[in-house]
Structure 1
Amino acid sequence: MLLFVTSIKLIAEIALCALAGRFLLGVLAGGRREQNFFYQLLTALTRPFTTGMRAITPRRVVDRYIPLLAFVALVWIWLFALIEKVQLCRAAPMQSLCQ
């Protein structure tokens, strides 16, 4: 169970960093961000999370806000995984993933 929770936390961390990097690079690149190779790479990394968020949100939500909603959802997933990991590590502190 600890391995599963740690894996979920790691995936959320990677996705959060990719979404934050995509936002910052989009701000720096401006209107030419779609031609930027690294922006395209970060978009490809975050596509599963943004398409998943698009699937669960109503159509009234503008596509522009989907990455922000995905970011907020991933922060909540990360927090819940962190809390669960702390609880599991307190129950069995000698496991290798608790260090």
Structure 2
Amino acid sequence: MLLFLNIAQLLLYIGGLGLAGQGLLYVLAGQGRHTNLFYQLIGMVNKPWTLLARLISPKQIVDSQVPFVAFCIVGILYIAVTLAKIEHCLTIGIEACQ
């Protein structure tokens, strides 16, 4: 169980950092962001999260806002997994979680 929680937490952490990096490049690159190689690479890493956000968000959400929705989803899931990991570690004992 602990291995599953660690893997889920790692995947969510990578997704959150990728979405944050893409957001930072969105601001820094300006209008030329779609031709920026790094922006496109981070966009490929974030594709699963943005597709998930597009599926569960209403149609009123504009496509340019979907990465922000994905970041919020990843953040909420990360907090949930972290709380589940803490609860699991308290149940089995702190020594067993190391």
Report the TM-score when normalising by structure 2: 0.92
In structure 1, the gaps of 5 or more residues are none
- The 3-state SS of whatever aligns with 2:60 is coil
Report the TM-score when normalising by structure 1: 0.91
**Partner of residue 46, structure 1:** 46
**Number of residue pairs aligned between Structure 1 and Structure 2:** 97
1:68-87 CA-to-partner distances (Å, cap 9, x unmatched) read 11111111100010011111
Establish whether residue 94 from structure 1 lines up as the match of residue 95 from structure 2.
Answer: yes
**Partner of residue 14, structure 1:** 14
- The 3-state SS of whatever aligns with 1:60 is coil
- The 3-state SS of whatever aligns with 2:69 is helix
**Partner of residue 25, structure 1:** 25
1:6-45 CA-to-partner distances (Å, cap 9, x unmatched) read 1111111100000000011121111111111111110000
In structure 2, the gaps of 5 or more residues are none
1:32-60 CA-to-partner distances (Å, cap 9, x unmatched) read 11111111110000011001110111212
Superposed displacement of residue 94, structure 1: 2.8
**Partner of residue 71, structure 2:** 71
Percent identity between the two aligned chains: 36
Establish whether residue 34 from structure 1 lines up as the match of residue 34 from structure 2.
Answer: yes
- The 3-state SS of whatever aligns with 1:21 is helix
